[in-house]
Amino acid sequence: MKIEIDEKNFELMLEYEQIKKRIRLLAIQMNVDFENRIPVFIGVLNGSFIFLADLIKEIHISSEVSFVKVSSYEGDKSSGKIKKEIGLQMSLKNRDVIIVEDIVDSGKTLEYLLEMIKKENPASVHVCTLLFKPESLKVKIDEINYIGFEIADEFVVGYGLDYNGLGRNLRDIYKAVKA
């Protein structure tokens, strides 16, 4: 199936049923890894909100949820400049923190978030990302412990990810068609 968003063409990459199955597996692992602990899941807005909502429904241990908002994208490219729009709203001292990202590509935004969170002296920090582009990674990040899908260096939309603010509401994930 193909779609068009803001004059850019996309084709189906991951169906919602595949995404749901993978989220269930990630949650099972986290339920085991954080048994008898109370982690705080920090969703990175705007892209992670759908993923985090589905993930947290599968988490059966006690946990908390909070959000931060940072941005670096302009259109379909990262600007390289990270802008904090909403900061931490709670203390993370001695807490187990799980940063929930929609996608990790260059890793620059995640590196910025990790520095910000580590200043709070958490007990541990882990990263859960729905999509990971290993070919695009520009910085080494050891905290990426939970990966939904590894994908090629392609621009994607849907399931929370957008193109110029559009397409977040799509159930499936689509990749840009090369011109």
Domain annotation covers residue 24: yes
Q: What letter would DSSP give residue 13?
A: E
Identify the three-state secondary structure at position 58: coil
Q: Which residue has the tokens 């260059």?
A: 106
* 105: annotated active-site residue: yes
From the list 54, 96, 102, 105, the catalytic residue is 105
pLDDT 10s per residue in the chain (179 long)? Answer: 888 998 899 999 999 999 999 999 999 999 999 999 999 999 998 899 999 999 999 999 999 999 998 876 554 555 556 665 566 778 899 999 999 999 999 898 899 999 989 999 999 999 999 999 999 999 999 999 999 999 999 999 999 999 999 999 999 999 999 87
Give, for 109, the enclosing helix (H) or strand (E): helix 108-118
Phi, psi of 29 (to 5 degrees): -65, -40
Domain containing 148 equals: 14-31+38-171
Domain count, the chain: 1
Residue 41 and residue 58: Cα distance in Å, rounded?
Answer: 13
Residue among 117, 120, 85, 112 at smallest CA distance from 98: 117
CATH number at residue 23: 3.40.50.2020
